[in-house]
Chains A and B, each alone.
Chain A
Amino acid sequence: MAKGMFVDTSICTGCKACQVACKEWNGLEGEPTHFQQTPGAPYPVAFNFTGNSYDNTGALSAMDWRHVRFIEQFNRNRSEARWLFSSDSCKHCNDAGCLNACPTGAIIHTDMGNVVVQDDVCIGCKSCVPSCPFGVIAMSEKTGTVHKCTLCDDRIHNGLGTACAKACPTGSIRFGDVPELKTIADARLAKLKALGETKANIYGYTEAGGLNVFYLFMDRPTVYGQPEHPIVPQQRLPLSTAATVLGAVALGVVGLISFRERGNKKKEDVTK
């Protein structure tokens, strides 16, 4: 049975308990702080943190497998404001771009449907990095391999839920069997719609071949930094291959014509 998570962003408070739980359980180091002198500031500024938002890491990385995205929308005089939060992670795609691209078999689907990198197989070729439609998987210069959320592979194979879901104080992140989670998600969406939240939508049922970690968003996916229509990149493989074969045939024809011995043919035949 495929396990997954349902992230209900409508009840996320942006507390980042999930980020902390993820780091603790998985033994992930903190992002090192790099200070540098910045024009206009008399003191050194940490340049690898956002610095202008409660969002601290700004993105997922090899060390940050969970990232609470803060969407802080204010008008000019700050009389109107909207704060949205969305706890993001690997979506554990059914048809995973990273897995498809891996040339070594390092990335696998387990029996529970989660996508895991086998660190001892990975060679650090980075071809999975641009192949993820969501920009999740990332390279670590320290280990020379790629890392991402495992859906707490060790926990879920021992009857526990994911660390982030366990730590979530509002129930915004739920772990469970995907079909069950979908029932919960549908019910929640219906309730929100009834309350007049017309823009609410569920992200991940059909996107990129179906995601085991799916979201309830209060606005369009792009507002939450997710692609509107993610596509598994390998879907372009047949057409790209066909075009390349066509190109090869064309060059072959050009070659055959260019190197044909015109006019000289007769002379050569005579000498033979």
Chain B
Amino acid sequence: MNPETHIVNYPWYFVGMYFYISGVSAGAYFIGSIIELYGGGKRSEISRIAFSLALPLILLAPILLIIDLGRPERFWHLFFYTKEGIPYINLQSPMSVGSWGLMVYSAFCLLSFLNTLAANGRLEFAPFAKLYNRLPRKTYAVIGMLASLFVAGYPGVLLNVTAWPLWESTAPLLGPLFIASAGSTGAAAIVLVMARRKMASRDAFVHLEKFDRVSMIIELLIIGAVIVVAGQYAAPILRGFYGVMFWGGTVIMGILIPLGLYWYSSRSNTDRSQLVMLTAILVLFGGALLRISLMQAG
């Protein structure tokens, strides 16, 4: 779009991986909080797995983000304006708002994680349960769910409000795309853990699969819309190396084959653990390649 733009091909891998890992964490947390909203019941094993996944994953986020900085030791400037000595937020900057949002989300991840430990009897610390239970449990679910959706979606907004052709021309669809991908990869992460623990035959599993399927179909529709909206500027992700990554990795391996496998495995009555595990791994890879191809081709 702009011949003057001196395109320096930054390795955005750290940021791309952050977008991916925070998406998986947020997707898993989102599912956990939805089940909490419904009062848990028989499916609370899903939310327990979700919350045990969300925290360790999001703990990787600051590491990836800080490594990427030119001056890592100054990362705290994101929250504090040194010239005036005041906390800082720039509402026009998705990165600024995102940093604060990530902090809020991480706090909820920690609370839910500790609560899961306490519920499992692995955390024997009475004051925590007492404090935690001061608020109705659904409060955590609602606020945590909103925070998780924010963390899943803001990277798309961040890319859309730049001036680089691919990221600019895909506006305003990258936010919804990342949210859909977070949903499906988050579900896949939970599926993977459940399948490994041979829990794939449970009723609860059906819900998870259904959610994963629907989010993948939504993701597919948004990808179609992205290509239409971006027009000629979508070329970097449609052709060449990143084209292979995008079509082959994200669309075929990460969405179409998993959809087929879910459909196939739902019709067979044999032990599905292996097949379901493979499906989940493919979805997770596809999600990673979606972020990497979009970032590097930008």
Q: Which residues of A contact B (CB under 8 A)?
A: 58-61, 88, 97, 100-106, 118, 120-127, 129-135, 138-141, 143-146, 222, 225-227, 230-231, 233-234, 236-237, 239-248, 250-252, 254-256, 258-261, 264, 268
Contact = CB atoms under 8 A, between A and B. Distances in A.
Contact of A105 (B8, B37, B83, B173): B83
B6 A61 contact: yes
Contact of A259 (B35, B94, B96, B156): B35
A225 B4 contact: yes
A222 B42 CA distance: 63
A123 B74 contact: yes
A216 B160 CA distance: 31
Contacts of B10: 126, 129, 139
B160 A248 contact: no
A87 B71 CA distance: 32
Contact of B71 (A122, A251, A264, A268): A122
B71 A226 contact: no
B180 interface: yes
Given A121-B82, A124-B69, A244-B176, A252 B145 contact: yes
A200 to B, nearest CB: 20
Given A240-B172, A260-B38, A138 B6 contact: yes
Contacts of B96: 102-104
B120 interface: no
A147 to B, nearest CB: 11
A247 B179 contact: yes
Nearest to B2: A227
Contact of B153 (A222, A233, A248): A248
Q: Which 8 A-B pairs have the closest CB atoms?
A: A124-B70, A244-B175, A247-B176, A144-B70, A135-B5, A103-B96, A243-B172, A258-B211
B2 to A, nearest CB: 4
Interface in B1-58: 1-8, 10, 30-31, 34-35, 37-38, 41-43
Interface string B147-179: 001101110111011111001100111111101
Contacts of B38: 259-261
Given A127-B95, A255-B34, A236 B149 contact: no
Contacts of A127: 93, 95, 158, 162
Interface residues of B, number: 73
Contacts of A145: 70-71
B254 interface: no
Given A241-B157, A254-B215, A126 B70 contact: yes
B40 to A, nearest CB: 11
- Interface of chain B, main secondary structure: helix
Interface string B83-121: 100001010111110010000000000000000000000
A134 B162 CA distance: 11
B28 to A, nearest CB: 12
Given A88-B4, A130-B163, A234 B92 contact: yes
B241 interface: no
27 contacts: A60-B6, A88-B4, A103-B95, A123-B71, A124-B69, A124-B71, A125-B69, A130-B163, A135-B163, A138-B8, A227-B4, A230-B2, A237-B92, A241-B157, A243-B172, A244-B156, A244-B157, A244-B172, A244-B179, A246-B176, A248-B179, A250-B218, A254-B183, A255-B30, A258-B207, A258-B210, A261-B43
Contacts of B167: 130
Nearest to A146: B70
B267 interface: no
B249 interface: no
B64 interface: no
Contact of B211 (A102, A118, A255): A255
A233 B145 CA distance: 29
B179 A251 contact: yes
Nearest to B34: A255
Interface string B240-260: 000000000000000000000
B35 A102 contact: no
B41 A261 contact: yes
Nearest to A237: B161
